Amino acid sequence: MLIVIDYRGLAKTVTYSLVSGAVACIFPTEPEEVGHRLMKRLYCIRAEHIKDTIVIANDVKWPNGYWRNMFMEKWYQDRGLEPVVYKGNRSGQSWPFAATRSDLERLYATLLVEGAESIGATVVSEPGLEADDVWGILAKTYPGEVLGYSTDTDWAQLVSDRVRVKSIISGGFHPVKDIRVKWIGGDPGDNIPGCPKRLKSGALAKNNWGSAGATKLLLEPDWESQLDAEHLERNRILTTLPCPLWNLEQAEASLRAVAVTYAQSDRHFDKYGVSAQVRQVLKNGACREAWIEKLRSHLLAKA
């Protein structure tokens, strides 16, 4: 089986669980606590999948963002429209931690390498791609069973008889997701607008369908005829995993070219409080699940 871990999703999960207030931190600083929790989660995944291949998928921006940033910029420029920035609605969000963003980003970069080495994983970091792009390519091209670990419900687009996605937060498996809802309703979280509604005159309205409207529209057999083809195609390209424009053989070859596989080593575990004694406990399935459930309760208490 191929195991694919959404690294950014995992890092955010163990970081933001600190703000729930359910249980005090074990270590005196946030970076130490994040390292401790992230390393434990990685070890738990390895302990549960001792003989399986593990890939850690990491988001990597170009200087001007991801490929979706470039696609959206060109799409609006070509039509002489005011641009909409991919994920442009995420700036200015509150920061609840004592550690700075830059300090935590440096920590994430360190933990990516040291965590991969600790569990003997392969890191895939392709500039311009997000983890869900890597997931989409691997889930489509890998010939055997695939299990993803992610907080991103978009990964569920590819759920099938051989592909499953497990939530890092809840521990449950994501059900199959109808991506057509995002084609029509857009993705507010990523600042991707929905398809605009039409006026009686046939002109495009200022307001969009949204998720609820998209779900209702999909009950109609001629739903596609009621939408503007350009906007529908824009969102199909932006939200479908993997991107419909890509040649999958070439995309997989590109991922293989940048993949870095680390030989498994114990040398980083003590640094993050995952001692030999802790590892021995976490080899036990019941103890492992009990620890994950404790961490999960921290995050869900904040929700």
**Could you read off the pLDDT of 270-299 as tens digits, one per residue?**
999 999 999 999 999 999 998 888 777 766
Q: Are residues 31 and 137 in the same domain?
A: yes
pLDDT of residue 89: 82
* Residue 104 and residue 123 in one domain: yes
- What 3-state class would DSSP assign to 57? strand
Residue 168 near residue 10 (C-beta atoms within 8 A): yes
Do both 193 and 161 map to the same domain? no
Instruction: Tell me the percentage of the chain whose pLDDT exceeds 70.
Output: 96
Asked if pLDDT for residue 76 goes beyond 90, the answer is: yes
**Average pLDDT of the chain, as a whole number:** 92
pLDDT band at 301 (very low <50, low <70, confident <90, very high): low
What single-letter DSSP state applies at residue 149? E
**Is residue 186 pLDDT above 80, yes or no?**
yes
Does the model's pTM come out above 0.85? yes
Q: Are residues 49 and 123 in the same domain?
A: yes
**Is there a single domain that holds both residue 209 and residue 285?**
no
Whole domain around residue 226: which residue ranges? 180-238
Same domain, 146 and 200: no
pLDDT at 302: 52
Same domain, 144 and 191: no
**CA angle at residue 176 from 170 to 178, to 5 degrees?**
120
CATH of the domain at 70: 3.40.50.1010
Check whether residue 222 and residue 275 sit in a common domain. Answer: no
Q: How far apart are CA 274 and CA 36, in angstroms?
A: 7
Percent of the chain whose pLDDT exceeds 90:
78
Please report, to the nearest 10 degrees, the dihedral formed by the alpha carbons of residues 43, 44, 45, 51 taken in order: 80
Q: Is the CB of residue 207 less than 8 Å from the CB of residue 155? A: no
The DSSP result for 157-217, as a single string, is: GG-SSSEEEEETTT-PBPPP--THHHHHH-BGGGTBPPPEEE-TTSPEEEEE-HHHHHHHH
| Residue where a domain stops, chosen among 238, 254, 282 | 238
Q: Distance (Å, rounded) from C-alpha 39 to C-alpha 177?
A: 30
CA distance 200 to 194: 19
What is the CA 11 to chain-centroid distance, rounded? 10
Q: 303 pLDDT exceeds 60?
A: no
pLDDT of 230 strictly over 80 = yes
CB atoms inside a 10 Å sphere around CB 142: 17
Q: Confirm whether 248 is domain-assigned.
A: no
**How many whole angstroms separate alpha carbon 209 and alpha carbon 28?**
48
Q: In 3D, which of 194, 158, 192, 196 has the Cα closest to residue 175?
A: 158
